[in-house]
């Protein structure tokens, strides 16, 4: 009998796509944080983002993960707006 060719811990397509979304938001967050002019604020925000994502990395509930992604996107948009206002 032929077994599955996937390793036992392989992600489903839905999980894989969700993971890519999370990584994309994380990268965008770090890129945006790089634009913060004050070094101390940049360091604080980088640590905050890292800890938030690390704290939730073992979440498995799909609805909770979707909610966290939405929250992260909202924080990202808020940071981007604040940077735009600070520049003007």
What percent of the chain shows pLDDT beyond 90? 76
pLDDT computed for residue 36 by the predictor: 94
pLDDT computed for residue 1 by the predictor: 46
Nearest to 53 by CA among 81, 78, 79, 73: 73
Model confidence at 10, in pLDDT bands (50, 70, 90)? confident
- Joined together, the tokens standing for residue 1 give 């009998």
pTM over 0.85: no
Query: d(Cα 56, Cα 64) in Å, to the nearest integer?
Result: 10
Q: Which residues of 70-86 are buried (b: 16+ CB within 10 A; e: fewer)?
A: eebeebbeebeeeeeee
| Cβ atoms of residues 53 and 44 within 8 Å | no
Domain ranges of the chain: 18-86
Tens-digit pLDDT profile for residues 36-68: 999 999 999 999 999 999 999 899 899 999 999
């Amino acid at each position: 009998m032929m077994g599955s060719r996937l390793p036992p811990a392989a992600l489903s397509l839905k999980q894989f796509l969700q993971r890519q979304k999370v990584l994309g938001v994380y990268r965008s967050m770090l890129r945006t944080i790089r634009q913060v002019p004050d070094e101390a604020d940049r360091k604080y925000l980088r640590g905050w983002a890292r800890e938030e994502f690390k704290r939730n990395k073992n979440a498995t509930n799909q609805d909770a993960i979707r909610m966290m992604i939405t929250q992260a996107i909202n924080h990202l948009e808020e940071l981007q707006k604040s940077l735009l206002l600070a520049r003007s």
